[in-house]
Amino acid sequence: MNKSTVRLLALAMFSLALVAAPLLSTAYAAGGDNPAPPPSDSSKDKKKNDKSSSIDDPKFLAGYRTAYATIYDRSDYAAAIEQLKALGHDDRADVANLIGYSYRKLGDYKLSQVWYERALKADPNHVRTWQYYGLWQLEQGNRDQAQYHLNRIAQLAGTDSAEYRSLAAALEKPPGAGLVY
């Protein structure tokens, strides 16, 4: 083989690896810096501009990852809310959950609740939303509701999941004012 053939083959393999990498990784409903595809709903006809295709849109993914970093690396929740809303997909569970989380961190519990409920409406099995909404419940003093959220996480992801362990640890702390998670 000549050098140009080897280079072309290497480039092709690298390109294939980049394309296949997201397909090989497991997407959990828990959330992360890669949004999970929305749950399929066979009762609805697929529209031409179906928002589920955005999972493959590099612009959407880049914007989502930027907002994710804005939240978890820089703790700039107000900026993250704007970034997430600018994506135009705030009806997706991953996006709505992060907006709810950001509002909660800013202390706007009413708006946070609206976004958590919107996320669960989009995907009732979105484990990270159950976790974050459970922490919201604890911050509001609703321990029984937080326990319900914990039980829901156990059903969806098991008791060994990070989301379960996080909410369980928060529930183990004694009730008191000023608990923020």
Domain ranges of the chain: 54-124, 125-181
Pairwise CA distance, residues 26 & 18, whole Å: 15
- In terms of Cβ atoms closer than 10 Å to its own Cβ (0-12, 13-18, 19+), residue 173 is exposed
The DSSP code for 92 is S
> Alpha carbon of 51 to those of 3, 32, 93, 141: distances in Å?
43, 19, 12, 36
Per the CB < 8 A criterion, the answer to whether 111 and 91 are in contact is no
pLDDT of residue 44: 40
Residues 6+ apart with CB under 8 A from 26: none
Tokens for 80?
């993250």
Mean pLDDT by 10 residues, the chain (181 residues): 59 48 36 56 39 68 96 97 96 97 97 98 97 96 96 97 96 72 59
Per the CB < 8 A criterion, the answer to whether 179 and 139 are in contact is yes
pLDDT of residue 76: 98
pLDDT of residue 57: 87
- At the fourth CATH level, which superfamily is domain 54-124? Tetratricopeptide repeat domain (1.25.40.10)
